[in-house]
Amino acid sequence: MAEGLSHRTFRLQPRPGDLIRGDVRTPAPGPDGRPEAAVVVVHGFKGFKDWAFFPWVAERLATAGFAAVSFNFSRNGVGEDLGTFGELDRFARNTYSLEREELALVLEAASTGTLLGYRPGRIGLLGHSRGGAQAILAAATMPEVASLVTWASVATLDRWSEDEKRAWRADGRLWVENQRTGQRMPLDLTLLEDLEHNQGSLDVVAAARRVRVPWLVVHGAADATVDPSDGRVLQAAGPRARLHVVEAAGHTFEARHPFEQVPPQLSEAVDATLAHFARSLRS
C-alpha cells in the first residue's frame, strides 16, 4: 500500500449464495476533504481484482485523488483466498446478465455512499477486456456514470465460432484453458443461452452509440487476444470516444502476474487514464 492511502474491504450479496468481494482505496483526507470523485474498476474474463496490475492501478487512482473501488464478480471463480481460481463451479455458472446486475449493484452502492461513507460528486468507470464491455453497457444506461475508460475492451461478447457453439450445445459445457495456471475452466450452456436470449441488452456496439459521457478507448497495438480493430470499432461508435493506441503493448499492456515491475506500456495507459479522469471527473 502506497504511503498516505487508506484501504478497506467490503462485501455485497447480489443474490442468495453469491458474494461480491471488493476493496476501497482512498487518499488520506486533506485540506479539501474527501475525494469528490470515485472510479470503479472492472476486471475481465479470467480476471480478478488482485490480478497483477489491478491493485497498483487502484493505488495510482487513489494517489491521484480519487476514491478507487475494485471488486470481484461473484462468479469469476475466485473465492475467499482471493488469489486462485478455487471456485470453478461458480465460474461455470456465470453469465453476462449476472455481471451486469452486479456492476449495477456496485455502482449504486458507490453512488449512494454505502461503500465510501459519503456520496461522491461524480463516478467514473475503468474496465479491462470483457470488463470493458460491461463498463460500456453500464455507461450507456446508468446516469451515475460520468466518465468512462476502457482498456483492451471487446466490441462484442459473442466470441465463439458456430462450430464451437454446436459442440457447446452438444456437450452442455465448454472448456477454456487458463494459460497462466494451466487450469481447464468450464462454461455451462447458461452463458451461451444468456447471450442468445439477451442480444439486445448485451449488444456492446449499440450500447457504445448511447454513451454520452467522455470516453477514452485504450488499446495495445500488439494485442493478440482482442484485436486492436475492436478498439477502432468502439471509438467510431462512441459519440464522445477518443482512441489512445499504446505501441508494442499486448492485451495486459505487458504486465504479468505476479506483478513485479511496471512496464512502460502500462505506465502510458495509466497516465492517459488519469489525465482523462482528471479532465472529466473534477469540477
Q: Which long-range contacts (CB under 8 A, 24 or more apart) does 264-268 make?
A: 265/220, 266/53
Instruction: State the sign of the Cα–Cα–Cα–Cα dihedral 228, 236, 101, 275.
Output: positive
Residue 102 carries which side chain, given as an amino acid letter?
Answer: E
Cα 250 from chain centre: 17
pTM, entire model: 0.97
Tell me which DSSP letter residue 105 carries. Answer: H
Amino acid sitting at position 141? T
Do 150 and 234 touch, CB atoms closer than 8 A?
yes
At 32 the pLDDT is 60
The segments of the chain whose pLDDT lies below 50 read: none
pLDDT at 1: 65
Strands 215-220 and 145-151: parallel
The residue ranges of every structural domain in the chain are: 5-158+200-281
214-225 per-position pLDDT tens digit: 999 999 999 999
Backbone angles phi, psi at 77, to 5 degrees: 100, -10
Residue type present at position 95: T
Distance from C-alpha of 163 to C-alpha of 167, rounded to nearest angstrom: 6
Length of the chain (residues): 283
Predicted local distance difference test score (pLDDT) of residue 43 = 98
Q: DSSP letter string over the chain? A: --TTEEEEEEEE-SSTT--EEEEEEEEPPBTTBS-SEEEEEE--TT--TTSTHHHHHHHHHHHTT-EEEEEE-TTSS--TTSSS---HHHHHT--HHHHHHHHHHHHHHHHHTTTTSS--SEEEEEEETHHHHHHHHHHHH-TTEEEEEEES--S-S----HHHHHHHHHHSEEEEE-TTT--EEEEEHHHHHHHHHTTTTT-HHHHHHT--S-EEEEEETT-SSS-HHHHHHHHHH-TTEEEEEETT--TTTT--SS-----HHHHHHHHHHHHHHHHHH--
Topology of domain 5-158+200-281, CATH = Rossmann fold (3.40.50)
What is the distance between the alpha carbons of residues 41 and 217, in angstroms, rounded to a whole number?
15
Residue 98, pLDDT score: 98
